[in-house]
Every structure is written in structure tokens, then in C-alpha cells.
Amino acid sequence: MAKYFDVHPDNPQPRSIAQVAESVRSGALIAYPTDSCYALGCRLGSRDGVDRIRSIRHLDDRHHFTLVCQDFAQLGQFVRIDNDVFRALKASTPGSYTFILPATREVPRMLQHPKKKTVGVRIPDHVVAQALLAQLGEPLLSSTLLLPGEDEPMTQGWEIKDRLDHVLDAVVDSGDCGTEPTTVVDFSGGEPEIVRRGAGDTTRFE
């Protein structure tokens, strides 16, 4: 049964955030809010967490997982970024964008695209997500909480708790955070390619 954390959206309770972070360090799979809908998250190196996310969402090995990072310093440890791409990313973060980039050796092979050796990264503009990342001290391995056969991600913490109680370890509820997932931009080929149009404005990448 998943633990339920009712967290204030603007002033998240430090004790609750610390408890969630500790559960992630211990191998928990959580649902948590971002600036573009709820996400599933686990510790970066958790094979069990990856397998559980794949099972919940029915994902194959070509799915790009996302490393949700606190800031640019953290993001730069996990992907290779040239100067032009750096400027484009800097102008768009934090925000509702996921960027696909070549992975560094810091990224476990199980998280990389099997052929391209790429991974998704993002920096969320969400108080609760940022508080959790700061407490955790490392990225959250994440995937949008979109269930198989459904058109929109789940957006209410209580509903997530009700429907996924048996497959999650914790739910962080800070209220409605929208149903539109991130805009996904692939920079792995040099030029930006818009893979998915979502919450982030795509104008600067076209």
C-alpha cells in the first residue's frame, strides 16, 4: 500500500519532503507532481524501479526515460552539451521541456536508448519537485504518469493513490498540476527535432 503525502504546493513541509526522499533512496517508486502533470519516479540506479515503470506503462526498451534534474550543474553530469545547445537549453529551463541528448558514462546503460545511447533530461519549474530534488541530491529517474490506453496523464493525487495503490510505494499530492506533458526536443542529431508538442512553447526550436 502506497504512503500518501499531502504536501503544500507553495510551501512544502520539510519533514514530508525528507521522508519522501528517504523512501526514494531506499528503493521506492513514487508518483510526484511536476510543472506538466504527475510523473513516476525512482532512484537513478534502481533496476527494480525501471522494471516497475515499464510494467505500469507497458513500455518497450526504446522508451526514453527522463532524468529530472534540480539545475544545470546536475544536468551537465549526465548529458553532453555543446555551446549552441547549451544556450537553447538555458533559455528554456526551468520549464515544461524534456531534451534528448547523448548520455555520459554517468547514465546507467539500462536507461539509454539501445541504439542512439541518448537519454531525456529536464529541469522542472515546480516548487514541490524542486524541493524533493534538493533533498535527494541527485536526479529522479522519471516517466510521465500516463497509463496504457489512456489519452491524458493522471492529474489528481487522490486518484493516483486509489488506482495505483498496489504498485506504488508513495504518492506525493500537491494538488492539480495539469494534464499536458512536456514538449520533447531531440538534440542528439545536432539540430533540434520536436518529438512531442506539449506544455512548452516550441517556437524557438522551429
Q: Round to whole Å and give the CA distance between 36 and 96.
A: 6
Domains of the chain: 3-205 (3.90.870.10)
Q: From start to end of 44-117, where are the E strands?
A: 66-68, 97-102
Q: What is the pLDDT of residue 45?
A: 87
Q: What is the pLDDT of residue 153?
A: 83
For residue 51, pLDDT over 90 is answered with yes
For residue 152, pLDDT over 90 is answered with no
120-131 pLDDT tens trace: 999 999 999 999
pLDDT band at 189 (very low <50, low <70, confident <90, very high): confident
Is residue 115 within 8 Å of residue 54, measured between CB atoms? no
Work out the average pLDDT over 78-104: 93
Q: Which pTM value belongs to this model?
A: 0.94
- State how far the alpha carbon of 70 is from the alpha carbons of 129, 132, 136, in Å: 8, 9, 10
Q: Round to whole Å and give the CA distance between 66 and 59.
A: 13
Opening angle at CA 45, ends 44 and 47, nearest 5: 115
pLDDT band at 118 (very low <50, low <70, confident <90, very high): very high
Work out the average pLDDT over 106-120: 89
Work out the average pLDDT over 143-160: 89
Other Cβ atoms within 10 Å of 106 Cβ, number: 13
For residue 104, pLDDT over 90 is answered with yes
Work out the average pLDDT over 61-90: 91
| 118-122 vs 3-6, strand pairing mode | unpaired
pLDDT band at 103 (very low <50, low <70, confident <90, very high): very high
Scan for cell 540506479, then name that residue. 45
The pLDDT > 70 percentage for the chain reads 100
- State how far the alpha carbon of 44 is from the alpha carbons of 41, 94, 118, in Å: 9, 20, 15
